[in-house]
Structure 1
Amino acid sequence: MTNELMNLQEVARYLRVPVPTIRWLRQEGRFAPAMKVGRRLVWDAADVRAWAEDQRERSLR
């Protein structure tokens, strides 16, 4: 089983937020963990989806 990876631009597009927002959330420790592949940061797509779902649930409380 292979994991789908998303780069910074793909994550921002998926979440419909600007790239600097993802950078800020990551810097603040408030985003899904990233890993480095070469010089690039990538995220496991399942982690990004889980983070987004968690944020949605928190907003409904």
Structure 2
Amino acid sequence: MNDRLWGVKDVADFLGVPVATLYQWRQRGYGPKSRRVGRYVRYEPSAVRAWFEAQP
């Protein structure tokens, strides 16, 4: 399944940051775009990569 959404742990591992940092970024409106799916936060891998590439 190549098009599955990433969870917070997947994104944290990819970016090399703690999970808590992603939640803080999300609260502040910073970081890769995320969506809630039920009670879970999910990310599109392509959006995470695009956000990462756009960082200086």
TM-score range, shorter chain: 0.7 to 0.9
Q: RMSD value over aligned CA atoms? A: 1.4
Q: How does 1:13-32 map to 2 (within 5 A)?
A: 13-32=13-32
C-alpha distance in 2, partners of 1:18/1:9?
A: 8
**Percent of matched pairs sharing the same residue:** 36
Larger-gyration structure (1/2): 1
C-alpha distance in 1, partners of 2:13/2:20?
A: 12
Structure 2 residue aligned with 1:5? 5
Consecutive unaligned residues in structure 1, runs of 5 or more: none
Alpha-carbon offset, residue 39 of structure 1:
1.1
Aligned length: 55
Question: What TM-score do the two structures reach when normalised by structure 1?
Answer: 0.79
Consecutive unaligned residues in structure 2, runs of 5 or more: none
Specify the code of the residue in structure 1 equivalent to 2:40: R
Q: Which runs of 4+ in 1 moved over 4 A?
A: none
Question: What TM-score do the two structures reach when normalised by structure 2?
Answer: 0.84
Structure 2 residue aligned with 1:53? 53
C-alpha distance in 1, partners of 2:49/2:4?
A: 11
